[in-house]
Structure 1
Amino acid sequence: MKWDPSKYVQFADHRDRPFYELTARITAAAPRLVVDLGCGPGPLAHSLAERWPDARVIGLDSSQEMIEQARSTQQSPNLSFQSADATQWMPEADTDVLVSNAMLQWIPEHRELLATWLEALTPGAWFAAQVPGNFGSPSHALMRQLAASARWAPQLAGVLRHDDAVGEPADYLKIMVDAGFEPDVWETTYGQVLTGEHPVLEWVRGTALRPILSKLSAADALEFEEEYSGLVAQAYPAFADARGERQTLFPFRRIFMVGRKR
């Protein structure tokens, strides 16, 4: 699946906020190695390098497009970026902070991987991750329903994950406890206000719609987007604010987990 770094950062204010609220709970004083697993185009890994200037900070991502973008803007001397497949990756022995921001939901077996990573981390190490918890919301449910319709199923059968792509907070809490972590797990629903003519479509173009776009021709992708956009316009009706500008309320639930190994 090919990623578009410029599309991914289109809603940076909304997408970055959970990362900063997540990492604010990490109180590591002088980590040796900090890993951003699923670093995307790199700006959030830069913030980790600035926070811990004496640490070696590595940003890892399976997308070559994302890694190239990250390297093109690399500034911190203690920061590097590498291509890595998270399903084959294991933390090094001196990893003191492992961060994963909105990445685990792309891996069906991430619960098992998470347990393995936490087991491998040494006592005193920190783990922090957040995942979207909105797979049951209209933005995703309507996409799955459309992909499963008679028109699109022959091309898109099995492409999209179901509504169990992530666990519930209690699932991650148990994984962390079993691995010997002192867990802090919570969820937040952000009341995001998006602007523009088709804001929900623009939002999912950067993330959830990528698997579909990678399977369809340009003409078919346009047709799918037009049909999907009509469905979500009904689910997320636009309204005019006090200045008469078009606004769309897009609630977004996220699940957070942070912990330090005993």
Structure 2
Amino acid sequence: MADWDAGQYLKFEDERTRPAADLIRRIPLAEIRSAVDIGCGPGNSTELITNRYPGARMLGLDSSPDMLAKARVRLPGVSFQEADIAAWNPDERYDLIFANAVLQWLPDHPRLFARLASCLETGGCLAVQMPNNLHEPSHRLMRKVAQEGPWAEKLAAVSQSRERIGSFEDYYSWLLQAGCSADLWQTTYVHPLADAEAIIEWLKGTGLRPYLDPLSPEEQSEFLDRYRIEIEKAYPAQQDGKVLLRFPRLFFVAQRQ
């Protein structure tokens, strides 16, 4: 994919930061010496960690230069590095590895979480939040428009570009095998947004990107027109004119034993 657009992402900063805030409140560690925020984006989640643990040595990692540029302006005292999380293999262990809305993009979760758990100090925590919305209308309709349009062949593999989220039982088992205890839960956020166009603007910063990036500007415009028609039907206006975007997210905090 092309580089992430931090400005587009931050149009809904409050809504995107809320799950990270909910996740950090469940971390049982009173004090830590070191933390890494993998997939740190523009630094909104990193800021929460530094506020919770002001004495910790903090590192933020992301693959997007644009996201990292925003993060460095936001938190000039924090070290940020460009890195491919799929290949990340640090030389040290951390008290906290924080991953907010990033690991759903990576494959082979059993191996992935075993590797991340191995990067924890004894007693350290891996705190993870992943969108679990592939079955919501917002994402089902992306696949529908991709499959039914003139771009179907071009986008044939795109719907497989995000990892299918496992069950509670899956993650509990994988984390147990990795030597961790696990606190797991799921929250469905309900975001009142201005209209169907606002839903599209939200998703243009994340879920729609793999569908739009391979298309020409003309194709992107037609794709969004078709998608807008479907979204307007799936998310009817409420009494106040707003639409309700349901957004399930899976969480866990794993502590290395």
1:10-29 pair list within 5 angstroms: 10-29=11-30
1:53-72 pair list within 5 angstroms: 53-72=54-73
User: Is this contact kept in 2: 1:61–1:82, CA < 8 A?
Assistant: yes
**Aligned residue for 1:187?**
186
Structure 2 unaligned segments of length 5 or more: list them: none
SS of 1:143 mapped into structure 2: helix
Normalising by structure 2, we get a TM-score of 0.94
User: Is this contact kept in 1: 2:188–2:247, CA < 8 A?
Assistant: yes
**Mapped pair 1:80 → 2:79:** yes
Shift of 1:197: 5.0
Shift of 1:92: 4.1
Shift of 1:33: 1.3
User: Is this contact kept in 1: 2:104–2:165, CA < 8 A?
Assistant: yes
User: Is this contact kept in 1: 2:196–2:232, CA < 8 A?
Assistant: no
**Mapped pair 1:8 → 2:9:** yes
Q: Which amino acid aligns with 1:250?
A: L
User: Is this contact kept in 1: 2:20–2:129, CA < 8 A?
Assistant: yes
Q: Which amino acid aligns with 1:151?
A: P
Moved over 4 A (4+): none
User: Is this contact kept in 2: 1:135–1:164, CA < 8 A?
Assistant: no
Q: Which amino acid aligns with 1:13?
A: D
**Aligned residue for 1:225?**
224
Number of residue pairs aligned between Structure 1 and Structure 2: 256
**Mapped pair 1:149 → 2:148:** yes
**Aligned residue for 2:127?**
128
CA separation in 1, counterparts of 2:135 and 2:163? 8
Normalising by structure 1, we get a TM-score of 0.92
CA separation in 2, counterparts of 1:92 and 1:25? 27
Q: Which amino acid aligns with 1:130?
A: Q
CA separation in 1, counterparts of 2:216 and 2:4? 16
CA separation in 2, counterparts of 1:110 and 1:101? 15
Structure 1, residues 189-228: CA drift from partner, whole Å, max 9, x if none? 1122111351221111110011122111111111100100
User: Is this contact kept in 2: 1:42–1:70, CA < 8 A?
Assistant: yes
**Mapped pair 1:255 → 2:256:** no
CA separation in 2, counterparts of 1:105 and 1:10? 21
Shift of 1:163: 8.0
**Aligned residue for 1:165?**
164
Structure 1 unaligned segments of length 5 or more: list them: none
**Aligned residue for 1:33?**
34
Moved more, 64-73 or 248-257: 64-73
User: Is this contact kept in 1: 2:97–2:127, CA < 8 A?
Assistant: yes
Structure 1, residues 131-151: CA drift from partner, whole Å, max 9, x if none? 011101111111012112251
**Aligned residue for 2:114?**
115
Evaluate the alpha carbon distance shift between residue 164 and residue 81 of structure 1 in structure 2; reply closer, same or farther with a 3 A threshold: closer
